[in-house]
Amino acid sequence: MALTDPPSPANDSEGPTAAAGSALFADLLFGLRGAGVKVGMGEWIALMSVLSDGHVAPSLKDFYHVARALLIKHEAHYDTWDEVFAAVFAEGEMPVKAAEDLLEWLADMPPERTFSDEELAALERLPLEELRRRYEERLKEQKEKHDGGNHWIGTRGTSPFGSGGKNPAGIRVAGSGGGRSAIQMATARQYAEYRSDRVLDTRSITVALKKLRRLSRHEGEPELQIDGTIERTSKNGGFLELDFQPPRKNQARVLLMMDVGGSMTPYTRVVERLFSAASTLHQWKKFEPYYFHNCIYSRLFEKLRQSETVPTAEILAEREKDTFLIIVGDAAMAPSELLSPGGAIDWFEKSQTAGLEWLHRLRVKFERSVWLNPMSPNHWRGYTTQVIGQLFPMFPMTMSGLDEAVERLLRRRPAPAPTLDRSLMREIW
């Protein structure tokens, strides 16, 4: 679970204090340590001092945020913090982590065994709650390594707990699965390897986008520059010489082009966050958002519901060359949509220019351009995704990915567009 706000108990009128709820505090501390979050005594004493001095309002919500700020050092542990906090204060479930020695046992895996259809058919299918209960029991009882069995947490067997085995519905603990049939993973929650990347909220996006700056002094009423005045006065033998210059203003122009609908629907929320952060960031000279579906062709939508469009050729002709271009999309489509003249999925799109040609024109015009892909990089194996990835620098829509994309846009010497392989563009039906 991931919490926007902390879980609330039946009565939130009085939050925890340093003098009360010592058992809950102990559960919180040792729960975090047991879940793999290294909370030092220095951080814990600091939290207790803050509570004792009355700096935290008597509210569980305030305690949640203050305690997380003091105890959790990295965003990657926010998800685990939410789990432990919910288990202690809101009747949630404490995350179960496998012991290090158990993980070492599972890493040493014997050759794969072959089981008959009769053996596999006879295996018991347990409900998830019963599986979890039995797994926690085994975790407490197991004292040694096991391979090929049907009871303990081991490898290459028919036990519902372990890795590399054969069970129709078990809990995988580390390693690889034997038949892609595990219904839960015990060593990490689903997508746990992306936890530090998943924490991509509007605030973090705003912080990253604020770095897109191009400062100049060409506009505005002149202002007194203290450093310049001191320097000029020093060079003038001590006689005062004032230095007035126009204020430094951000002259950056930003184009944001977003794929909507179809395969992008599951990523609506994260794209909305990006758009929300960008549209409310009023520090740029000009910001223009546009929409497209699957690929960019002869027109872009300003407003989808009203079908208001602007010709892509107009953007290419009239926008400044140093504009920052950010394209958001999964780059997944039928090859014909990218490579074939007239291949757009939109029936009313009559452009006989292939989508790849339009993308290449944008890449040539706007050297400072990047492509943000909301899919995990592990899934960037599709043909069209790879073709587009060769044309645009492609980054995942994650905290680190967005930071890298912004750094790429701000390079002193941006990389020119690669040569377009026109032999790719053909009719594919």
Q: For position 303, what pLDDT does the model report? A: 77
Residue 402 has phi, psi (to 5 degrees) of -65, -40
Most confident range, picked from 101-110, 182-191, 297-306:
297-306
Higher pLDDT, 345 or 394: 394
Is residue 142 scored above 90 in pLDDT? Answer: no
pLDDT tens profile 208-240: 788 877 644 455 567 777 888 888 888 888 888
Average pLDDT of span 162-188: 49
Q: Provide the token pair at 1.
A: 């679970």
Is residue 427 scored above 90 in pLDDT? Answer: no
**155: CB partners within 8 A, 6+ apart:** 105, 106, 108, 109, 110, 146, 147, 148, 162, 163, 164, 165, 175
Residue 297's closest CA among 266, 323, 259, 330? 259
pLDDT tens profile 2-57: 444 555 544 444 555 444 456 778 888 888 888 778 888 888 888 888 888 888 87
pLDDT tens profile 2-16: 444 555 544 444 555
Is residue 90 scored above 90 in pLDDT? Answer: no
Is residue 380 scored above 70 in pLDDT? Answer: yes
pTM for this prediction:
0.50
Is residue 192 scored above 80 in pLDDT? Answer: no
Average pLDDT of span 333-361: 86
Q: Are 111 and 147 in contact (CB under 8 A)?
A: no
Per-residue CA distances from 216 to 6, 108, 228, 261, 320 (Å): 44, 61, 16, 39, 16
Q: Are 418 and 94 in contact (CB under 8 A)?
A: no
Q: For position 190, what pLDDT does the model report? A: 35
